[in-house]
């Protein structure tokens, strides 16, 4: 069997994403694991990317949904080791964010091959696909918050403005450079989405 090791598969740290809870410091009506979050992003990708590609078809362009889903699937694998670091802490200062990234990179390299570590760390990079991942990530977070509020969790209302602000701050310059029509479509989608979040 060579170097194959069944334990490396059945005991992979990636499996821990089922156990890592999101929204540390908040009481949720319905807990959400990182794997729940990933699946939520995948479903959004399967809904949204074909709509974007419909807009792009007249320009003979498209966004590769399989590439997006791969990025979604791996973008939070680091949390299988670091667990979920609350957003206000993670982004407290650029310097602190850099330190977290250095520690995360070092920890990932002890568990995973270099090519996977690279893909994890660049899943939300400054590319067209990276911008799409950022959109899906924030949209899924907003959906979770909306659902929590509808279930009676009024504490989650304090977090909704953070998602709205982050969505409004997305520059999406790669998408705009790729296609003005797709950029306009996404702006329309995000405006409707933000309006829905504000109405909860």
Which of the four pLDDT bands, split at 50, 70 and 90, describes residue 89?
confident
- Evaluate the CA torsion angle 98, 100, 91, 17 in order and state its sign: positive
CATH code, 13-199 = 1.10.3210.10
Going through the chain in order, the beta strands assigned E by DSSP cover none
The pTM for the full model equals 0.90
Average pLDDT of span 92-106: 90
**Taking the C-alpha atoms of 168, 131, 123 and 135 in order, what is their torsion angle to the nearest 10 degrees?**
50
Distance CA 53, CA 75 (A): 22
- Judged by average pLDDT, the poorest of 14-18, 46-50, 98-102, 191-195 is 14-18
pLDDT of residue 86: 75
pLDDT at residue 58 above 90? yes
Question: What are the extents of the domains in the chain?
Answer: 13-199
Which of the four pLDDT bands, split at 50, 70 and 90, describes residue 65?
very high
Residue of 186, 84, 83, 93 whose CA lies nearest to 134: 186
């Amino acid at each position: 069997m060579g170097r194959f090791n069944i334990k490396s598969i059945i005991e992979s740290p990636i499996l821990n994403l089922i156990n890592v809870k999101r929204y540390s410091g908040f009481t949720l009506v319905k807990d959400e694991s990182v794997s729940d979050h990933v699946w939520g992003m995948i479903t959004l990708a399967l809904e949204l990317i074909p709509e974007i590609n419909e807009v792009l078809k007249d320009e003979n362009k498209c966004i590769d949904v399989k590439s997006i889903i791969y990025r979604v699937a791996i973008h939070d694998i680091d949390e299988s080791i670091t667990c979920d670091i609350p957003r206000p802490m993670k982004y407290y200062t650029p310097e602190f964010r850099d330190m977290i990234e250095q520690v995360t990179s070092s920890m990932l390299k002890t568990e995973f091959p270099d090519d996977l570590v690279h893909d994890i760390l660049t899943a939300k990079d400054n590319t067209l696909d990276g911008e799409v991942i950022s959109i899906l990530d924030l949209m899924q977070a907003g959906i979770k918050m909306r659902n929590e509020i509808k279930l009676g969790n009024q504490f989650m209302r304090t977090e909704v403005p953070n998602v709205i602000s982050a969505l409004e701050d997305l520059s999406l310059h790669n998408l705009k450079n790729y296609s003005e029509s797709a950029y306009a479509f996404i702006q329309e989608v995000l405006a409707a989405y933000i309006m829905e979040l504000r109405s909860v």
